[in-house]
Amino acid sequence: MLSPRRVLEQQPVAAAVAYTVVGILPVYFTTAQAVRLQEELAFGRFEFGFVVASFYLVSSIASRGLGPTIDRIGITRGFRIGALLSLISSGAIAAAGNSWQLMAVFLGIAGLSNAFTQLASNRAVATEVGGRRQGLGFGLKQAAVPMGALVAGLVVPWVGFEVSRRWVYVGAAIVAGGFAALPPHYPHAAPEPARLAGRRTIPLIGLTITAALAGGLGNSMASFVVDAAQSIEFSAGTAARLLSVGSFTAIAMRVFLGWSADRRQRRGVAELASSLALSAVGFFVLALAGSNQTLFVIGVVVCFAGAWGWPGVMYYVVTRSTALPAATAVGSVLAGGYLGAVVAPPVFGVLADEVSYSAAFAMGGSLTAVALGVALYTQRFVTPAEAAAEVRATNRS
């Protein structure tokens, strides 16, 4: 019988999914309890947006700097460090998360965990999965992000509304501790220093801007959807389950887009563009929904499919748009996405508080359309030679 470690070594995509979930569970257990935390700790939507933003601020700063580090130290050590940091974050929230300020600090630790696990997972897919299956690999790996929200949406109504909110974090700490003890081992050869120091091209800069806009808005939507649903008379349990429904839709979309990119064997730009377009439509449906619960549900499903459907295929595009090593290139785009998530949730929360959720959703649709335009424009600068060079370099890493 194979040990869990051996199974993860033989299935790098499964390992990437598992460690990505470990790194993001603390923040999604927090967003699924948004209303309860605001009531028990006596703070508002702006403060909650700041709490969530702390996770993404640390993730953004760390991702930009840790990309070359992960390429140097390897996947195994990246997984172990990320899981240990998730353990520390979850345990600290369970033991001492008594104010929004402390919650922000502890979620900052989770942000550092997320940077390690995300970058190590992306490198695992880029170096341990065959080139003709990388689209699906990235799609499955990125499906782990909404999977974390799906788990949170299911667990919180079942546990968190019946007993202390702290127990969900205790569970997350136990899971993280288990994965920290059993990271899979993969052969590792650090890329040449010249590759690590390579230049960041126009397409990579454009994709970073796209990720900043789309990522910030998508995470704002996911962070506030429970609160928005309760504002139009959904029950707390139903609102949390709505987060799970949207997350399941995003999981399916990420896998589908990855499969489509593999099947077409192109750069994945068409898949990326279709997801961003769907995101814009979903935001505008939510803006028009008002207090109409049926239209709100439709908007949530469409918006999750688009606003959370693009990250997997985005990293597929990234690995074909630059000659930098996998973690280094993806780290740049991750940093942009997380930076957007730092700025967007507080702005989204203020707009929802001071004007309405409809105005916040309308802003989301407009800026997502801008992100789509940036992505399409910058990809005009990718040459076939650049794309081929990255595929060869990735598969040699």
User: DSSP letter string over 63-83?
Assistant: HHHHHHHHHHH-HHHHHHHHH
Mean pLDDT of 128-144: 82
**DSSP helix/strand/coil, 42:** coil
The token pair at 363 is 């802003």
pLDDT at 297 > cutoff 90: yes
How many whole angstroms from its chain centre is CA 28? Answer: 10
Q: Is the pLDDT of residue 143 over 90?
A: no
- pLDDT given for residue 279 in this prediction: 95
In which band, very low, low, confident or very high, does the pLDDT at 392 lie, cut at 50, 70 and 90? very low
C-alpha–C-alpha distance, residues 282 and 307, integer Å: 8
Average of per-residue pLDDT across 139-147: 81
Strand, coil or helix: what is 192?
coil
Q: What is the pLDDT of residue 391?
A: 40
Q: What is the pLDDT of residue 23?
A: 92
Residue ranges of domains in the chain, CATH in brackets: 4-396 (1.20.1250.20)
Does position 238 have pLDDT exceeding 70, yes or no? yes
DSSP 3-state of 47 = helix
d(CA 306, CA 288): 17
- Distance between CA 98 and CA 94 in Å, rounded? 9
Q: What is the mean pLDDT of residues 273-278?
A: 94
Distance between CA atoms of 107 and 95, rounded to whole angstroms? 13
**Looking at residue 200, what is its pLDDT?**
59
pLDDT at residue 390, as a whole number:
41
What average pLDDT does range 127-149 have in this prediction? 80
Query: Mean pLDDT of all residues in the chain?
Result: 84
Q: What is the pLDDT of residue 397?
A: 39
> Which string of b and e fits 131-167 if b means at least 16 CB within 10 Å?
beebbbbbbbbbbbbbbbbbbbbbbbbebbeeeebee
Q: What pLDDT sits at residue 273?
A: 93
Size of the chain in residues: 397
Say what the pLDDT of residue 264 is: 80
Q: Say if CB 15 and CB 124 are below 8 A apart.
A: yes
Rounded to an integer, the average pLDDT of 10-23 is 90
Q: Lowest mean pLDDT: which of 25-39, 278-292, 305-319?
A: 25-39
What is the token pair recorded at 224? 């506030």
Is 280's pLDDT higher than 60? yes
Mean pLDDT of the 109-118 span: 94
Phi, psi of 321 (to 5 degrees): -125, 5
pLDDT (0 to 100) of residue 194: 46
Helices 100-128/75-96 angle, 10° precision: 160
Q: What is the DSSP letter of 319?
A: T
Residue 385 in this model has a pLDDT that exceeds 50: no
Report, as an integer, the average pLDDT of 132-159: 77
Rg of the Cα atoms in the chain: 19
**Amino acid identity, position 36:** R
From residue 114, give the alpha-carbon distance in Å to each of 95, 121, 205, 352: 21, 10, 22, 28
For residue 143, give the nearest of 46, 256, 224, 29 by alpha carbon.
Answer: 256
CA 176/CA 18 separation, integer angstroms: 10
Residue 330 predicted with pLDDT over 60 = yes
Output the pLDDT for position 308: 86
Reported as a single tens digit per residue, the pLDDT across 179-203 is: 999 888 887 666 555 455 455 577 8
Whether 178 shows a pLDDT value over 90: the answer reads yes
